[in-house]
Chain A
Amino acid sequence: RWWQNRRARLLCMLALTFLFFVVEVVVSRVTASLAMLSDSFHMLSDVMALVVALVAVRFAQRTRATKKNTFGWVRAEVMGALVNAVFLTALCFTILLEAIERFTEPHEIQQPLVVIGVGVAGLIINLLGLCLFNHHGVGGHGHAHGHGHSHSGRQQPRGGSPKPEQPPTDGEAALRREETSTLVENCSSSNGVSQEKLGDMKDDVTDLQVNGNAGHYSLDVEEVEEDSSAQLNMRGVFLHVFGDALGSVIVVVNALLFYSLWNPCPRDGPCVNPCVNNHCMENATLSQPLGKTNQSEQESVMVAGPCWLLYLDPVLCLIMVCILLYTTYPLLRESALILLQTVPKQIDVHSLNSKLRTLEGVEAVHELHIWQLAGSRIIGTAHIKCPDPSTYMMVAKRIKEIFHDEGIHATTIQPEFASVGSESGRGKCEFPCRTQCALKQCCGTAEDNTGKKTEKSSSLSISCSEVVIEFPHNKTRRTKSESIPSVRLEANADQNEQFESSL
């Protein structure tokens, strides 16, 4: 089913649009119609949007880590969506400007029949494009494709009884890697919906959806997989085509009305065109009644047809701009939020934090970061403080499960071990990077911590402390920065505040 392939769809639409652009340019040269030429450039902007989306899709299929990008290029689609959304906004802006200019200087449509013809053809192509990309719609709901996958958007009942171990269904994976074959009982079988781990009913939070999302995601690792980042990308393209379709609708409506209602100035004979703002005319024609009918016996001067027709175009354009901006803004927002490394909306960091902290053996959690790479790949890092390594071992799996429940599957957990006497004071980072690098750390200075102090009152956060076996002479190597930490800590201690970020 080639039409389910994103690239095929994009390429098809690209070819169609480009062809139509060429046709329109030729027609405009033949009929010497400037309006047609400018309309053809709208098609060209469509072509550019499709090219951006295609490039993004091509990039995003390289999910493997490379030297230049350790995450692979999966984020390309989100960026493509943002670029398309901004591009569309800019186009709306220019359309707005043109409409305002038209208000001050209205134009007549020359050769409305040609315009109608080409407009209808453009509308057909755009409608076709809308159908092609409608799969993704404006609301951004995706589908799990093919192979009988069920949607993972449902809540699963808690598994009360132990489930037997099920081998995973991607058989080749099972064959390839016996080592990790015992992991599997938590995620279920073919439909990729994960079920609750047996016996553990700690959370009140809902089921183990694989990514915790109410959307529909497929775990299918085939290339037809429609990830939400792909949906974003397609939404960008859809909005462009939608805008173009609206433009074509306006062109057709306008030309039709013009054709039927307008009384043009005939080529011969004097003609009064009251709609065009002309200083000379204001003085000369005030005495003449304006209107749809032709002139009275006074002078056989024709008056051009109803003026409001000339203002129809800009008004419709304004409406179109409003519609487009209204529908583009959510896309802009969503892709920007992903790129800003924000927490995905379905995840509640506070509850995750409290779940982690209430685990036995976990003393504190800090540097908890959750962000969305693209689509359903959510990444988390945390520093977990435990009393000693063996406690950590026991609790490590549970930690990963908690993350998994929220849909965060790629995690890096750094265990930190408290030392004797750590309850009283604030430990210091044992890094070589201390305060001189504080500003270069991701979560830098102490001033960021004021917002967080209320939640962490129960747990001691020793920022990024680690057990490092240090010989006394190690300290001397870092004498340069020795003085700073003490000052910092005193300052912080005075504020009586728990800070959880690194120094």
Chain B
Amino acid sequence: MGRYSGKTCRLIFMLVLTVGFFVAELVSGYLGNSIALVSDSFNMLSDLISLCVGLSTGRIARRSRRGPRATYGYSRAEAVGALSNAVFLTALCFTICMEAALRLARPERIDDAQLVLIVGALGLAVNVVGLLVFQDWAACCSRCRPRPDTGTAAGPDAAAEPPDRSERKTEKKSEALNIRGVLLHVMGDALGSVVVVVAATIFHVLPLSADAPCNWQCYIDPSLTIVMVIIILSSAFPLIKETSIILLQMVPKGVNMQLLTDNLAHVPGVISLHDVHVWELAGGKNIATLHVKCQTPTDYQDAAYKIRKLFHEAGIHSVTIQPEYLDNKSSTLLCSSPCISRECDSQLCCSQQEASLPKSNGCVEKSERSLPALPKDNGASKNDIEIPIECPVSEDSINNVKNCIMSDDKSQLNNTRF
């Protein structure tokens, strides 16, 4: 979209810095024939990869245009990117752990402690700079971050504030995931540099002659490495958990399904609900769908507004409601129109055969009312079960349709006929 937020600016800066240092380390490692330098430069390479993943998924997510291939846009890319980064980091930790175990089995000394110390300190400096850059440092890149246009630029200030702030907040939330993935890598690298510096310092201060056997000093490096791996993993798992909540379509945090369905069931006009689904798209955008059984279309129309209000209060702003009307054949718990045939049951998101547990599908029955005998239209026998045509599709319901108030300031105020 051509709009740079602070996030992209920071990522690009880190990218440039890391590339520079990677190249420098690689070159000096080959020139100086030090394998430690070369391997440390590869740590930078993994940092680089995670930065690229973070950047590219951030860009994909921001460009989230809805299109024929993705009806929700690609705003979830950041969650996927964060998960990939976290898993990548876990795999790297695994290999580091392996090498540390190998070193424990066969300890080696650090040969050129001074060189390693210098390079380790430099690497640590670069990583610390990276960590600082990623903090919420408003001074950095404030010029990179123009005011995001929400389309209400002409609106009054008071009204422009909430959209701006909420947009910033939602951006922050999803950018938090993305940046956290990258931050984990940088932190891992920083910890690695710390370990290198500590080990090299010990070897520098207490040098070990070439022919002496390895004493406790040789075990410092692997054991510190294992401690570092534990630290990194313990901070990677929360990130994995959070992205799983989004990617597995779980109910977002902060939404209490039990309470919500209870409140929904108590909305007047609603006989029962089922197939209630609430999930988070990405970055605080929650989506809900549900099927509602009502007696008449009027009931539904009354209830629909209240239902949406309830969802709004729960923080869910995109709601799709499918109304179903009762007939005396289907129970109040089961969906009247799951699909056109029962054979498709295994491909429904919630199998109808499991609907015997009233609450498990989000099916909540409000009360046992006696079902009125709705006349059947025999000509449309196939239609009956799913969405019955009710004879008293009354005049008042059609009138109600016409009487709607589209509270649009521009027009259509001819309906206020109450």
- A221 close to B (CB within 8 Å): yes
Contact with B along A416-456 (1 / 0, CB 8 A): 01011110111110111101111111111111100110000
Say yes or no: A435-B163 contact (C-beta < 8 A), given A343-B70, A389-B397, A468-B301. Answer: yes
Contact with A along B157-192 (1 / 0, CB 8 A): 001001100110010000000000000000000000
- In the bound complex, CA of A336 to CA of B53 (Å): 13
Shortest beta-carbon distance, A56 to chain B, in Å? Answer: 10
- In the bound complex, CA of A260 to CA of B210 (Å): 35
Our pick among A38, A339, A379, A426 for the contact of B349 (Cβ within 8 Å) is A379
Our pick among A93, A412, A466 for the contact of B46 (Cβ within 8 Å) is A93
Of residues 477 to 491 in A, which have CB atoms within 8 Å of B's CB atoms? 480-491
A68 close to B251 (CB less than 8 A): yes
Stretch at the interface among B11-19, B219-227, B316-324: B316-324
B71 close to A349 (CB less than 8 A): yes
Shortest beta-carbon distance, A57 to chain B, in Å? Answer: 14
Q: Which residues of A contact B339 (CB under 8 A)?
A: 400, 403-404, 409-411
- In the bound complex, CA of A494 to CA of B21 (Å): 51
Shortest beta-carbon distance, B41 to chain A, in Å? Answer: 10
Q: Which residues of B contact A253 (CB under 8 A)?
A: none
Our pick among A75, A186, A481 for the contact of B340 (Cβ within 8 Å) is A186
- In the bound complex, CA of A290 to CA of B354 (Å): 77
Residue of B nearest to A414 (CB): B320
B278 close to A452 (CB less than 8 A): no
Q: Which residues of B contact A300 (CB under 8 A)?
A: none
- B118 close to A (CB within 8 Å): no
- B389 close to A (CB within 8 Å): yes
A339 close to B76 (CB less than 8 A): yes
Shortest beta-carbon distance, B327 to chain A, in Å? Answer: 9
A179, A277, A389, A404 — which one has the most chain B CB atoms within 10 A of its CB?
A: A389
A183 close to B342 (CB less than 8 A): yes
B410 close to A419 (CB less than 8 A): no
Q: Which residues of B contact A87 (CB under 8 A)?
A: 87, 90-91
Of residues 182 to 214 in A, which have CB atoms within 8 Å of B's CB atoms? 182-188, 192, 194, 197, 210-211
- A294 close to B (CB within 8 Å): no
Cross-chain pair count, CB within 8 angstroms: 435
Our pick among A93, A377, A382 for the contact of B347 (Cβ within 8 Å) is A377
- B195 close to A (CB within 8 Å): no
- In the bound complex, CA of A67 to CA of B361 (Å): 9
- In the bound complex, CA of A382 to CA of B320 (Å): 8
Our pick among A34, A339, A414, A502 for the contact of B106 (Cβ within 8 Å) is A34
- In the bound complex, CA of A471 to CA of B407 (Å): 10
Shortest beta-carbon distance, B92 to chain A, in Å? Answer: 6
Q: Which residues of B contact A65 (CB under 8 A)?
A: 277, 350, 360-362
Interface size of A in residues (CB-CB distance below 8 Å):
152
Stretch at the interface among B119-127, B134-142, B380-388: B380-388
- In the bound complex, CA of A336 to CA of B341 (Å): 31
Q: Which residues of A contact B162 (CB under 8 A)?
A: 436
Shortest beta-carbon distance, A98 to chain B, in Å? Answer: 9
Q: Which residues of A contact B46 (CB under 8 A)?
A: 93
Shortest beta-carbon distance, A437 to chain B, in Å? Answer: 4
Q: Which residues of B contact A26 (CB under 8 A)?
A: none
B76, B344, B351 — which one has the most chain A CB atoms within 10 A of its CB?
A: B344
- A8 close to B (CB within 8 Å): no
A443 close to B304 (CB less than 8 A): no
B150 close to A412 (CB less than 8 A): no
Contact with B along A166-188 (1 / 0, CB 8 A): 00100001001101101111111
Our pick among A373, A403, A488 for the contact of B249 (Cβ within 8 Å) is A373
- B254 close to A (CB within 8 Å): no
Q: Which residues of A contact B308 (CB under 8 A)?
A: 431-433
Of residues 364 to 407 in A, which have CB atoms within 8 Å of B's CB atoms? 367-371, 373, 376-379, 381-383, 388-390, 393-394, 396-397, 400-401, 403-404, 407
Residue of B nearest to A470 (CB): B405
- In the bound complex, CA of A105 to CA of B35 (Å): 9
Of residues 240 to 293 in B, which have CB atoms within 8 Å of A's CB atoms? 244, 247-251, 257-258, 275-279, 281, 284-287, 289-291
Say yes or no: A425-B411 contact (C-beta < 8 A), given A393-B383, A443-B318. Answer: yes
List 14 interface pairs A-B (beta carbons < 8 Å), by A numbering: A79-B247, A97-B42, A97-B45, A187-B343, A194-B343, A368-B71, A379-B349, A394-B389, A430-B406, A437-B166, A439-B170, A451-B67, A469-B400, A489-B410
